[in-house]
A and B are shown apart, each in its own frame.
Chain A
């Protein structure tokens, strides 16, 4: 399978990328690692006229300790997230979640920003971003703006990032020493989760769910129970509450609801 023709515009800097986006508008797509966009282009489910390659913008690839938060450049690859000592210490949930994305080859190319901007409810990283209550920095023609992870995922494969904008940075509050858990249920190791969950403990705990709705979602009622000190059984029982999981060939809605409860309990107990 082969992508349709497009014009290729490599950008050397964030500013150049933004100016190319301003120039080509909704005819353009951003290419980072390519592991969300290229599969769609190969199947011709995406046929952009212009591809703006930001893969060489080096100053968007970093993991930095900024005191209360860890800042991650949007072009940081899954592999770097997975292996980062800073993240292992301060946001271990995210480092661990990254180790479950795809397979080693995918993790060597795919970027955290690309994964988040794809907005796929079946992806692992959005759940971790929701659970850790990250803030996302979006750059646009009129400068930077920040949105919370709750506001970031707007619809199926849709995010808050507009056509002329670029996700540049992910800011995650440190969760040093807090409990966390990650569970991914799939049939083959390389598959997307049938259901997954990312649980972050602490004062303001978060539970991000994978494949439990049309967007990456938090299990808000379970979070409330967790915050109020309920037992893991009680929290897990609410894991699917208010959510509308899909039915597909890998699992129907009731099975996904059941899995959500089991996985949240395991994430809390392990």
Chain B
């Protein structure tokens, strides 16, 4: 049986199950000092004075520094909009770093930060896009003259189509601000010695960080090493450059001691980049059959207090993917990026695509409301046919690779009893003992497998490939080194599966190393559901290249032609003559011994490095349904069932793929029903702890019912598309469509995320639309 596609348990687990994992805060070189930040308690203010005298006298404090003391360059960022490492003169959100304390212990560092006194001159804060774009709004950067830092208008608004269309609708949507909140917060440890700098960081892209730190500090990359040990979740939040990764090395150099920073949750909630926070105006024109004639999208992206390059790209991805699974002949897109006095925004699992999926899938249901059509039928009217790939969308970014959107819906309806649910829904509406029942659909599609050449360079990365090096050891075992930098995805296992399949080496004799710039040739990192579709393809190609060399060695020793050598069960043998055979260990040993090799082969040929490129993005898709029950008296919404049909192309490990879907779906449900990061009118966060930011727990989430279809990715030989973000992309509209469906009989057409019990109750009272 092929090991690719098999349910293999993970190589990663034994360490993590025994407390032998190693996260940054677990690492404590002798002499380590502890860093803590003084953070802004004001959303928008001028800093008049920072008094550090008391902090300097605090027992255990080694030093205290402000921007003026360190005179640091701005952090890497959008040209002209780079954020300072420590606030210089002005703060733009609650949680911004103002000063830094280093002490002999975590406890002393915390004590020191309490004693730093910051004198603020409070300025009026803008906490929403509306406020920030109002006339005479307070400006985050006076010199820019506006809080809108980028605006892209449409080339053609297709107004004539709208004017002549049988039906039009305008929908206003808010994609609520969320925080990814991996359970491990940001952490780093910098050790700057005479031989150079080593930074241990909880990060998703070690080489990316290494390149930026070395450029920022002006030290050669060979003397700057970044290690990402075990990383406790990332979800896109750990590909952003926050001050700690840059300030810790500077202080380590000053102190000539290791400097560690392990962020508190309270700090993480306001200082790690948030996600979503996008508002959309959506116009649709459609005919009597529910066929959509035109789509117009204007996305306003809240950037928070500083414009991050990835954050700037969110509405680009949203508008590129706005047409979803559908043939839409006329699409008009526009967007803007707006600064507000809130935590800056960047990528969060899905990054721009959940926002796209939400708008088009809400639009599909609005068509069904208007025409009184079944929502599945509206979707069937509009699907891109399965024989139309590659499919060029309105966006040059998005050429869909393959898919079978109607097939996914068919499979979804196969694993659920839609007709029975509709009957139950009708019966429940008039039965006071029963909850309201809602059934919501989402036919979703996302852009993943980042990406073709140029795609990640736009976000500041060195390239869009991923590195894979395979080295066969003299005993015939194999070590894979990769620039992919997983943090829970199980890449050590999936890459070993792929290598085992194509090398013919036992899975247990393959190790995968990642997360160290000193040992991994180069790398990009883990984001955009790219590890298998890009890195995995690299593992396969590197394996094939090594097997080719191994066959040459075996052929030389066995006096056969290389093309007659086959690899099975850890042996290389002459086709048809199994007795003429060498073990991988024998071939591997020969590969290092000049006298055993063919004349034209040098020692060390079973070692190859590939920077794997892909010609296109991949486009995972699927169909989800949510069945929700709403308490008629309290408005409490509880998901009864989630039905999930994914198409991620070839599945390497169904156990791990299912885990990725579950995690993404849970985050999607969380966004739709539980989570929203909010501020009061002064820009003070009101959800900055896990008490108020409602990350759901085990009793709050349903179990999941899964199905699968497979349209292989034609752009890589594995056929894999990626699955890391699917759940978080496809789920929110399914949940909200279900919530609205449950109260549709009251004339309700929309409830914003998160659909809290109070919001739903107000709708049940007729207090809202």
The finding on whether chains A and B are genuine partners in a shared complex, rather than unrelated, reads yes
Interface residues, chain A, CB within 8 Å of chain B? 1-2, 4-5, 43-44, 185, 187-192, 194, 249-252, 255, 258-259, 262
Judge whether B758 and A252 touch: CB under 8 Å: yes
Is there an interface contact between A188 and B114, defined as CB atoms closer than 8 Å?
no
Q: Which chain B positions have C-beta within 8 A of A262?
A: 633-634
* B768 in contact (CB, < 8 A): no
* B389 interface residue per 8 A CB criterion: no
- Given A250-B758, A255-B757, A255-B762: 18 more A-B contacts, CB < 8 Å: A1-B264, A1-B265, A2-B106, A44-B114, A185-B757, A187-B674, A187-B694, A188-B694, A188-B697, A188-B700, A189-B700, A249-B687, A249-B692, A250-B692, A251-B757, A252-B758, A255-B758, A259-B634
Contact across chains for B757 and A187 when beta carbons are under 8 A apart: yes
**Residue among A187, A194, A258, A262 facing the most chain B CB atoms (10 A cut-off):** A187
Binary flags per residue of B752-765, CB closer than 8 Å to A gives 1, else 0: 00001110011000
Please name all residues of chain B whose beta carbon is closer than 8 Å to the beta carbon of A194 when the two chains form the complex: 757
B692's nearest neighbour on chain A, judged by CB, is: A249
Specify which chain B residues have a CB less than 8 angstroms from the CB of A249 in the assembled complex: 678, 686-687, 692
* Cβ-based interface call for B615 (8 A): no
Determine which of A1, A185, A191 lies in contact with B636 in the assembled complex, contact meaning CB atoms within 8 Å. A185
- Assembled-state Cα–Cα distance A190/B114 (Å): 30
- Give Cα A192 to B106, complex, Å: 30
Which of A2, A185, A189, A251 contacts B107, CB < 8 Å? A2
Is B77 close to A, CB under 8 A? no
B699 within 8 A of A: yes
Nearest-neighbor residue (CB-CB) of B687 within chain A: A249
Within 8 A of A (CB), among B624-645: 633-634, 636
Residue of B106, B107, B696, B758 touching A188 (CB-CB under 8 A):
B696
**Given known A-B contacts A1-B264, A2-B106, A187 and B756 have beta carbons under 8 A apart:** yes
Is B266 in the interface zone, CB < 8 Å from A?
yes
Q: How far is the CA of A187 from the CA of B637 in the complex (A)?
A: 9
A189 touches B699 (CB 8 A): yes
**B566 adjacent to chain A (CB < 8 Å):** no
Q: Contact check: which of A1, A43, A190 meets B697 at CB < 8 Å?
A: A190
For chains A and B in complex, what number of residue pairs have CB atoms within 8 angstroms? 52
Task: Encode B110-132 as 1/0 by CB contact (under 8 A) with A.
Answer: 11001000000000000000000
Question: Which B residues lie within 8 Å of A251 (CB)?
Answer: 757-758
Report the minimal beta-carbon distance from A73 to chain B, rounded to whole angstroms: 29
Instruction: Give B92 Cβ to nearest chain A Cβ, in Å.
Output: 23
Q: What are 25 A-to-B residue pairs whose CB atoms are below 8 Å?
A: A1-B264, A1-B265, A2-B110, A4-B114, A5-B111, A43-B266, A44-B114, A185-B634, A187-B674, A187-B700, A187-B757, A188-B674, A188-B696, A188-B697, A188-B700, A189-B697, A191-B694, A192-B691, A194-B757, A250-B758, A251-B757, A251-B758, A255-B761, A255-B762, A258-B761
Shortest distance in angstroms between B412's beta carbon and chain A's nearest beta carbon? 28
Chain A residue with the shortest CB-CB distance to B266 = A1
Query: How far, in whole Å, are A249 and B685 apart by their CA atoms in the complex?
Result: 11
Smallest CB gap from A249: residue in B = B686
> When chains A and B are docked, how far (Å) is the Cα of A2 from the Cα of B264?
10
Q: Which residues of A contact B634 (CB under 8 A)?
A: 185, 259, 262
* Closest chain B residue to A259, Cβ basis: B634
By a CB distance below 8 angstroms, the chain B residues around A5 are 111
Chain B residue at minimal CB-CB distance from A195: B634
Closest 8 CB pairs of A and B: A189-B699, A2-B110, A255-B758, A262-B633, A188-B700, A2-B107, A1-B264, A249-B686
What chain B residues lie within 8 Å of A259 (beta carbons)?
A: 634
A262 CA to B632 CA, complexed, in Å: 11
Q: How far is the CA of A259 from the CA of B756 in the complex (A)?
A: 14
Complex Cα–Cα for A251 and B633 (A): 15
Which residues of A are found within 8 Å of B691, using beta-carbon distances?
Answer: 191-192
Report the bound CA distance from A187 to B700 in whole Å: 8
Cα A249 to Cα B757 with chains together (Å): 12
Say how far B672's CB is from chain A's closest CB, in angstroms.
13
B761 to chain A: which residues have CB within 8 Å?
Answer: 255, 258
Interchain CB contact under 8 A, A4 and B758 = no
Measured between beta carbons, the chain A residues less than 8 angstroms from B111 are 2, 4-5
- Residues 287 to 327 of chain B near chain A (Cβ within 8 Å): none
Q: Which residues of B contact A192 (CB under 8 A)?
A: 691
Give the distance in Å from the alpha carbon of A160 to the alpha carbon of B182 in the complex. Answer: 42
Residues on B with beta carbons closer than 8 Å to the beta carbon of A187 = 674, 694, 700, 756-757
- Once the chains are docked, how many angstroms separate the CA of A191 from the CA of B265? 18
Contacting residues of chain B (653-694) with chain A, CB-CB under 8 angstroms: 674, 678, 686-687, 691-692, 694
Q: How far is the CA of A221 from the CA of B636 in the complex (A)?
A: 27
- C-alpha spacing A250/B692, complex, angstroms: 8
Considering only residues 113-170 of chain B, those with a C-beta below 8 Å from chain A are: 114
Q: How far is the CB of A189 from chain B (nearest CB, A)?
A: 4
B697: A residues at CB distance < 8 A: 188-190
Contact, CB under 8 Å: A1 / B678: no
Within 8 A of A (CB), among B249-303: 264-266
On chain B, the residues within 8 Å of A252 by CB distance are 758
| A188 proximity list for chain B (CB < 8 A) | 674, 694, 696-697, 699-700
CA of A187 to CA of B114, assembled, Å = 34
Complex Cα gap A255–B762 (Å): 8
What separation, in Å, do the CA atoms of A251 and B634 have in the docked complex? 12
Distance in angstroms between the alpha carbons of A43 and B689 in the assembled complex: 11
